[in-house]
């Protein structure tokens, strides 16, 4: 099982922020650390950790942490609390 804590840690690490800043409502470009370049770092980190490959349209639609979690279900990665 994949956990929310693990999921948040991966995102926080990818954009070099404290895990406490990451929650479902964190939005792309809401903080300076989550810019277009770091968005790709998040994608890469999640792909490597969960052994998946996001398609281009999914990457474009990942505007919040919550949307990223929803997109991951498409790849049969379910992040539970």
pLDDT tens sequence across 31-78: 999 999 999 999 999 999 999 999 999 999 999 999 999 999 999 999
SS (H, E, C) 14-49: HHCCCHHHCCCCCECCCCCCCCHHHHHHHHHHHHHH
Please report which confidence band the pLDDT of residue 1 belongs to, taking 50, 70 and 90 as the band edges.
Answer: low
């Amino acid at each position: 099982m994949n956990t929310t804590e693990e999921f948040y840690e991966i995102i926080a690490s990818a954009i070099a922020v404290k895990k406490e800043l990451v929650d479902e409502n964190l939005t792309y470009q809401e903080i300076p650390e989550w810019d277009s370049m770091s968005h790709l770092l998040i994608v890469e980190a999640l792909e490597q950790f969960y052994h998946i490959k996001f398609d281009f349209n999914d990457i474009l639609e990942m505007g919040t942490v919550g949307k990223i979690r929803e997109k991951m279900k498409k790849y049969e990665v379910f992040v539970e609390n």
